[in-house]
Amino acid sequence: MDNKRQYEVVFIVDPTVDDEVARLTDSFKQIVTDQGGVVTKAETMGKRQLAYEILHQKEGTFVLMEIEGSGKEIAELERRMRVNDRVLRYLTVRVDEDRRRAEKLKNRRTRKAEKKATRSATPTRRGGAVEFAAESNGE
Please report the pLDDT score of residue 68 as a whole number: 93
> For 46-86, how does the pLDDT look when each residue is reduced to its tens digit (9 = 90+)?
999 999 999 899 999 999 999 998 889 999 999 999 999 99
Return the CATH superfamily for domain 5-94.
Answer: Ribosomal protein S6/Translation elongation factor EF1B (3.30.70.60)
Q: How much is the pTM?
A: 0.69
Angle CA 109–114–115, to nearest 5: 95
- Tell me the per-residue pLDDT of 28-38, one tens digit each, with 9 for 90 and over: 999 999 999 99
- CB burial of 107-129 (b: ≥16 within 10 Å; e: otherwise) equals eeeeeeeeeeeeeeeeeeeeeee
Parse the chain into domains and list their residue ranges: 5-94, 99-136
Q: Is residue 86 helix, strand or coil?
A: coil
What per-residue string of b and e applies to 52-65 under the rule 16 or more CB within 10 Å gives b? eeeeeeeebbbbeb
Burial class (CB in 10 A: 0-12, 13-18, 19+), 9: buried
Quote the CA–CA distance of 42 and 23 in Å, as a whole number. 12
